[in-house]
Structure 1
């Protein structure tokens, strides 16, 4: 099995590569359309700004290619957010795979933004979470979030409930970083590779 990790200068590649390596997965960092199109699995990592991420993807002519993929695709953090319809971060029009508009966490006394650290996930409704217990902790780093929507397959709170993960057809997204989420995250990545 070959995994294409999309290279668009927005990813936390070291941690993701280490996580895939621990699972014995063969992967390549690439923006080559043919390699991505022919991969068995595709991962769109993401760290940083959604508007910049979309600009980089468009410059590489990747959004239309990603939309047409019929293999399992996983977007992580900003990678998930740019798969939504729109992001308030930089007022970015995004890919529109997931039916959600990404919003900034509101200013609430006592609630830190960005949301950084370990939080529980619940309402797990996908093969992506096979063997994962409700209330398991995963690692988040984000100031923007996808509200609950028809594509929500896991939730978390900060302080209100929001989408911790999304799914539409063969597309999956996690707001948290499975590659930084210890044994739970490793199981989620393994589940993605086995879907």
Structure 2
């Protein structure tokens, strides 16, 4: 069983549909027992980091997520939650799993939020990138993690920042694989088969 952790965000059902289309079962839950029994976990997010952290705190999921041993994939805001804090809302403490901040994307004469297809550049080969080269994925965000020790792929929107992270059993993608067509489907398949 795969569990999509209910962060109260709006992309829960699109991720659930993408997983089901790959022939895997997924439930959306904030129940600790479901999360503990899961083979794989997804930490999605669209919207406010403060709202997502409040939802996780309210449901007593912070320690549970930090202690989980099964593979977990943070998507977009879900990836940003894995850092130590975000500049959003004048600073919001996040899960502290990866020792880096999430920062507002600087304006280099390009539109913010960053919306659209961007090419990733793979730094470190990993089974998450099976059948994936430096391909294009769909991004929608105003905040991003700088390149850090956990970065395994980058992208550029005015300047380079982290597109994919890996730290122990924690993975994160700044883009939306569920909206990235065939290549996004491949990445989700790779994660489900880790």
Cα drift, residue 124 of structure 1? 4.4
Q: CA deviation at 1:180?
A: 0.5
Which runs of no fewer than 5 residues in structure 2 stay unpaired? none
Q: Quote the residue 2:93 is aligned against.
A: 93
SS at match of 1:116: strand
2:6, 2:161 → 1: CA distance? 28
Q: CA deviation at 1:108?
A: 2.4
Q: Which runs of 4+ in 1 moved over 6 A?
A: none
C-alpha offsets along residues 17-64 of structure 1, whole Å, 9 cap, x if unaligned? 221111011111100001101100000110001111111111111110
RMSD: 0.9
Matched position secondary structure for 1:14: helix
8 Å contact 1:85–1:98 — kept in the other structure?
A: yes
Aligned length: 192
Q: How far apart, in 2, do the equivalents of 1:58 and 1:87 lie? A: 16
How far residue 161 of structure 1 moved from its aligned partner, in angstroms, is 0.7
Structure 1, unpaired ranges of 5+: none
Q: Paired residue for 1:105?
A: 105
Secondary structure of 2:97's counterpart equals: coil
| 1:98–1:166 contact (8 Å) kept in structure 2 | no
**Residue 158 of structure 1: aligned partner:** 157
Offset from partner CA, 1:116-144 (integer Å, 9 cap, x none) = 0100001242221111012x100000000
For normalisation by structure 2, the TM-score amounts to: 0.96
